[in-house]
Amino acid sequence: MPTIGVLALQGDVREHQIALAEADALARPVRRAEELAEVDGLVIPGGESTTMSNLALAFDLMEPLRARVAAGMPVYGSCAGMIMLADKILDGRDDQQTVGGIDMVVRRNAFGRQNESFESEIAFKGFEDEPVHGVFIRAPWVESVGASVEVLAELPAADGAESRIVAVRQGNLLATSFHPELTGDHRVHALFVRMVEEAVRARA
Q: Does 16 bind ligand GLN (CB under 6 A)?
A: no
Q: Does 137 bind ligand GLN (CB under 6 A)?
A: yes
- Listed ranges 58-66, 79-87, 126-134, 184-192: which one lies at the site for ligand GLN (CB under 6 A): 79-87
Q: Does 138 bind ligand GLN (CB under 6 A)?
A: yes
14 vs 143: CA distance, rounded Å? 29
* 67: exposed, middle or buried (Cβ count in 10 Å: 0-12, 13-18, 19+): middle
CA distances from 47 to 5, 78, 145 (A): 16, 9, 23
Q: How far is the CB of 188 from ligand GLN (least distance, A)?
A: 15
Q: Does 46 bind ligand GLN (CB under 6 A)?
A: yes
Task: Determine if residue 28 is labeled as part of a ligand binding site.
Answer: no
Instruction: Please say whether the beta carbons of 171 and 2 come within 8 A.
Output: no
Biggest distance spanned by C-alpha atoms of the chain: 50
- Listed ranges 23-31, 43-51, 58-66, 68-76: which one lies at the site for ligand GLN (CB under 6 A): 43-51
Positions touching ligand GLN (CB under 6 A) are: 46-49, 79-80, 83, 108-109, 137-138
